[in-house]
């Protein structure tokens, strides 16, 4: 090491150093210059031109004061920011004429994201929503609400191809929120990173929507294809939802009479091969029938956590 260099180490870097292939990178990160001075030069410039540095300085300051317009957006906290976000989100699919597939990835996914799908008004696009609910205390309730909302909306509106997934294991594989737009060949058209979930956007904090560059989007696509194959359970599919003729006004239907489902019947239904179909039926009934809701709570407490995991580990 040069005598003018020094190393500022840390426990984190030392842990990384244990990976032999990372040693060179770790050393580069930890190394600093002791003299505290840095120099720079511009290769190919005419250093004898006394105006060169002045022109470069003017150009740099102009770019700082008048930055190039990006597609990223910062929206303030409160109702004005929220309505601006909703207008932006509703218009998003129409920015991409050749869009064929939209992914909405949110570990804390709730019903509001599902309600936006018909608001997009583009039936030719496939919509895939991915959540990570098992890390949450109210996981079963959240999944029930998601499926209930999807049932209610897409039983009244036909022609939408929607799939909703949840991370299969009780660990957090997803942290950030993404919206990705792809064409029919699976190529990236556009993508955005959201600083908050759709249902909480601008409620407690400002919302930052950051456009994802194409090269980074390719890496996200690779990651996404990996977890889709091995780590997700499908919890809802529009292909299995009975549809009616579209209605001019979409509203939540009135509750109908649901006969209570007993505790033993709940366990028996969840022991079948189509566990997610059974769960959708039970959760809808529990939502509308207090006796079923009580029996579901009793069933949940009577079985071990391992038994529940084993039942829901089966694919949709």
Give pLDDT tens digits along the chain (316 positions). 555 666 777 877 787 777 767 777 777 777 776 665 544 444 444 445 566 676 677 666 766 666 677 788 898 888 788 888 888 999 999 999 999 999 999 988 988 899 999 999 999 999 999 998 887 878 888 889 999 999 999 988 889 999 999 988 777 778 889 999 999 988 889 899 999 888 888 788 899 999 998 888 888 888 877 776 678 888 999 988 754 444 344 343 344 456 788 888 888 777 765 677 777 778 777 777 778 888 888 877 787 777 767 766 654 4
285 beta partners: none
Domain ranges in the chain are: 1-38, 73-253, 255-316
How, if at all, do strands 177-182 and 188-194 pair?
antiparallel
Domain topology for 73-253 = Endonuclease; Chain A (3.30.870)
Please calculate the CA angle 71-82-97 and round it to the nearest 5 degrees.
40
207 beta partners: 75
Are the beta carbons of 106 and 84 closer than 8 angstroms? no
Residues with Cβ within 8 Å of residue 159, at least 6 apart in sequence: 123, 243, 246
Question: Taking the complete model, does pTM exceed 0.85, yes or no?
Answer: no
How, if at all, do strands 31-33 and 126-131 pair?
unpaired
Which residue, 242, 236, 286, is CA-closest to 265? 286
Burial class (CB in 10 A: 0-12, 13-18, 19+), 199: middle
């Amino acid at each position: 090491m040069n005598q003018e260099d020094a190393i500022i180490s840390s426990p984190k870097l030392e842990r990384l150093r244990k990976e032999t292939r990372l040693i060179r990178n770790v050393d580069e990160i930890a190394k600093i210059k002791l003299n505290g001075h840095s120099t720079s030069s511009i290769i190919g410039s005419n250093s004898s031109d006394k105006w060169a540095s002045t022109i470069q300085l003017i150009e740099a300051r102009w770019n700082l004061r008048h930055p190039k317009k990006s597609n990223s957006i910062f929206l303030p906290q409160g109702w004005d920011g929220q309505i601006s976000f909703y207008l932006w989100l509703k218009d998003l699919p129409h920015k991409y004429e050749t869009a064929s597939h939209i992914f909405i990835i949110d570990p804390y996914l709730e019903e509001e994201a599902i309600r936006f799908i018909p608001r997009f008004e583009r039936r030719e696009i496939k919509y895939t929503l991915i959540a990570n609910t098992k890390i949450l205390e109210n996981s079963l309730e959240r999944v029930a609400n998601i499926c209930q909302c999807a049932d209610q909306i897409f039983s009244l509106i036909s022609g939408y191809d929607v799939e909703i997934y949840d991370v299969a294991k009780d660990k957090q594989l997803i942290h950030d929120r993404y919206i990705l737009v792809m064409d029919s060949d699976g190529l990236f058209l556009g993508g955005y990173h959201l600083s908050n979930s759709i249902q909480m956007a601008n409620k407690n904090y400002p919302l930052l929507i950051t456009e994802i560059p194409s090269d980074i989007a390719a890496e996200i696509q690779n990651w996404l294809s990996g977890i889709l194959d091995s780590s997700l359970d499908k919890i809802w599919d529009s292909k299995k939802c009975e549809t009616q003729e579209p209605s001019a006004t979409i509203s939540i239907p009135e509750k109908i009479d649901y006969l209570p489902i007993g505790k033993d019947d709940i366990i028996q239904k969840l022991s079948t091969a189509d566990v997610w179909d059974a769960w959708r039926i039970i959760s809808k009934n529990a939502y509308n029938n207090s006796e079923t809701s009580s029996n579901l709570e009793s069933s949940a407490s009577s079985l071990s956590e391992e038994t529940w995991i084993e039942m829901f580990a089966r694919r949709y």
